[in-house]
Amino acid sequence: MGFTVIIPARMASSRLPNKPLADLGGKPMVVRTAERALLSGASQIMVATDHLDILAACKAHGIAACMTRADHPSGTDRIAEVAANMGLAADAVVVNVQGDEPLIDPDLIRATANLVSQSVPMATAAHALDGVQDVFNPNVVKVVLDKQGRAMYFSRATIPWDRDAFALNRDALPAGYAPLRHIGLYAYRNDFLQAYPLLEISPLEQIEALEQLRVLWNGHAIAVHVSAASPAPGVDTPEDLERVRQFY
């Protein structure tokens, strides 16, 4: 089944002004991200923005783009608006790819999209951690899965917690212990995406500052694709931008 990729791109960024339009080998970052998404086999790509300069840059490079409202509380709400305006079917699969991911793996997009089904209306991705620093870093979000590969919980805490091993030593990871790091890539059935903004806000998401916990708290399933490799990081800082420029 085909899927649609929607790429939210906002101009506001405190650490990297005008980030979506940053030049990467002669093309804006948001265009490079869209080109990577096209390689996933998506049936269509749409950049969703609240800024006319981003709209113009996309159209200049042949990338479909549309304007959205500027007052959305989250990127998911922005995606839902665009999917509704595109007239997508209720069972259409919509993938949210962030506009600052110019090195995103097209296979990762496709694999995540393929996990969405009638019974599992949302999917995301993860990869195994192998470093102590990331395992104990609250900025690295972890996820634990059930036997069907569905998310049981997301947390900034170290989960699962190896009680016996960590009681003895926290300077090295126990043998065979590989927590999963959550990758911020999401796919949805369109009918669920449209219902998402109406879901009751979870106290868990407010405590952890993790919006995806709203889905689990309201009783919906999230399938998780486990990637064999760590994905290329997105662009958040001038240093990140320079690293990506070297690639291009």
Q: Which residues pair with 4 in a beta bridge?
A: 44, 94
Q: What is the pLDDT along the chain (248 residues), one digit of tens a residue?
A: 689 999 999 887 667 888 999 999 999 999 999 999 999 999 999 999 989 999 999 999 999 999 998 888 787 888 999 999 999 999 999 999 999 999 999 999 999 999 999 999 999 999 999 999 999 999 999 999 999 999 999 999 999 999 999 999 999 999 999 999 999 999 999 999 999 999 999 999 999 999 999 999 999 999 999 999 888 888 988 899 999 999 88
The helix/strand/coil state of 52 is helix
Instruction: In whole angstroms, give the CA distance from residue 25 to residue 37.
Output: 17
Look up residue 7 and give its DSSP letter. Answer: E
Pairing of β 142-145 and β 180-189: antiparallel
pLDDT for res 236:
86
Contact present, 94 and 187 (Cβ < 8 Å): yes
Count, residues in the chain = 248
pLDDT for res 77:
87
231: cis peptide before it, omega within 30°? no
CB atoms inside a 10 Å sphere around CB 118: 7
Instruction: In whole angstroms, give the CA distance from residue 145 to residue 60.
Output: 43
Q: Which residues pair with 28 in a beta bridge?
A: 23
H helical segments located in the chain: 29-38, 52-60, 75-85, 106-113, 132-135, 163-168, 190-195, 203-208, 213-217, 238-247
Contact present, 63 and 44 (Cβ < 8 Å): no
Structure tokens belonging to residue 224: 């998780």
Contact present, 63 and 23 (Cβ < 8 Å): no
Sign of the CA dihedral running 151, 157, 158, 163 = negative
Look up residue 209 and give its DSSP letter. Answer: T
Contact present, 44 and 4 (Cβ < 8 Å): yes
pLDDT for res 1:
64
What pTM value is reported for the model? Answer: 0.93
Structure tokens belonging to residue 97: 């790819």
CB atoms inside a 10 Å sphere around CB 205: 17
